[in-house]
A and B are shown apart, each in its own frame.
Chain A
Amino acid sequence: MNQNNTTADRVTIVLHSGDMDKLYSALIIANGALSMGMEASIFFTFWGLQRLQKGGLEKGPLSTMHMFGLGKWMIRRRMKKSNVASLEKLMTDYKELGGHIIACDMTMDIMGIKPSDLREDWIDEYGSVGTYIRTARDSSVTLFI
């Protein structure tokens, strides 16, 4: 199998948003990249970092039409009907396929989040912009979500 990828064969995503639908986008793209033989990194920062809190993965609101939770409830019902995978499954698959996760330590300071508040089993690295740039400069695809 093609496991000796060049460093440029990597997707790096900044997940700034904590919205449920945007986390779906990030994890679906990242899993797609891993499935097609690329490497993938997601840099969880600002509201995105909250999704790494214990029990926080599925807690994000909808980016639009949230309507105090009613919109999210409706979308979730439709997603269930269409048999869309849960964020928990997508995250488990992402880690199984070797997906890399960076947690933003500045966001942790601002929001008073300790490593023990986070799903440390998912996190490969804590870092700031330098860690992101080091990863992004060797990526053929970078996205800000």
Chain B
Amino acid sequence: MAEFKVDVRGETCPVPLVETRKALRKAALGDVIEVIGTHPSSKKEIPMAVEALELELLSVEGSDNDWTIRIRR
């Protein structure tokens, strides 16, 4: 199982969400995607997408302006 990093620091709506989705589409089942970003709304919206896609949210860490989200496909 591989781990991928998605760096969307400095990016704004809708790029963090879109780049997360693009990475998840490329990942294989069981792979872990780590997204790091600074856009406040995306910190709560990426977990919403993870829920809608029925994937596993491993962790959400950091402040609203500097966060790390880990997802397992």
A41 interfacial by beta-carbon distance below 8 Å:
no
What CA separation (Å) do A90 and B13 show in the bound complex? Answer: 11
What CA separation (Å) do A93 and B8 show in the bound complex? Answer: 15
Interface 9-mer from A50-58, A68-76, A77-85, A116-124: A77-85
Q: Are B14 and A32 in contact (CB under 8 A)?
A: yes
A93 in complex: contacting residue of B12, B22, B55, CB < 8 Å: B22
Q: Are A35 and B10 in contact (CB under 8 A)?
A: no
Majority SS of interface residues in chain B? helix
User: How many residues in B have their beta carbons less than 8 Å from beta carbons of A?
Assistant: 20
Q: Are B15 and A85 in contact (CB under 8 A)?
A: yes
Chain B minimum-CB-distance residue to A34:
B21
Determine the chain A residues whose CB is within 8 A of the CB of B14 once the complex forms.
Answer: 28, 31-32, 35, 85, 90
Decide: A1 near B13, CB < 8 A? Known: A31-B18, A35-B20, A37-B49: no
Question: Which residue numbers of B lie inside 8 Å of A, CB to CB?
Answer: 10-15, 17-18, 20-22, 24-25, 48-49, 52-55, 73
